[in-house]
């Protein structure tokens, strides 16, 4: 975990239950499920635990 400084402390105080998430069950375009092709990436740093961007 990285230190977010004062902004991180403020966020934690405003969100005492932590972060949320979305569990993608399917991703369909014109009836074709593309979820199997989706990859979770971390384009802005080397944090391999970051799964905020699906490509």
pLDDT tens sequence across 3-53:
666 777 787 888 877 777 788 899 999 999 999 998 888 888 888 888 778
- Note the pLDDT of residue 4: 63
Beta bridge partners of 28: 33
Q: Are strands 32-33 and 28-29 parallel, antiparallel or unpaired?
A: antiparallel
Q: What's the whole-model pTM score?
A: 0.45
Provide the pLDDT for residue 30: 96
The pLDDT value given to residue 32 = 94
Check residue 31 and give its pLDDT.
Answer: 93
């Amino acid at each position: 975990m990285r230190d977010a400084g004062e902004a991180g402390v403020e966020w934690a105080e405003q969100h005492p239950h932590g972060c949320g998430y979305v569990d993608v069950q399917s991703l369909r375009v014109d009836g074709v499920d593309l979820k199997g092709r989706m990859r979770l990436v971390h384009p802005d740093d080397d944090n391999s635990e970051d799964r905020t961007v699906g490509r």
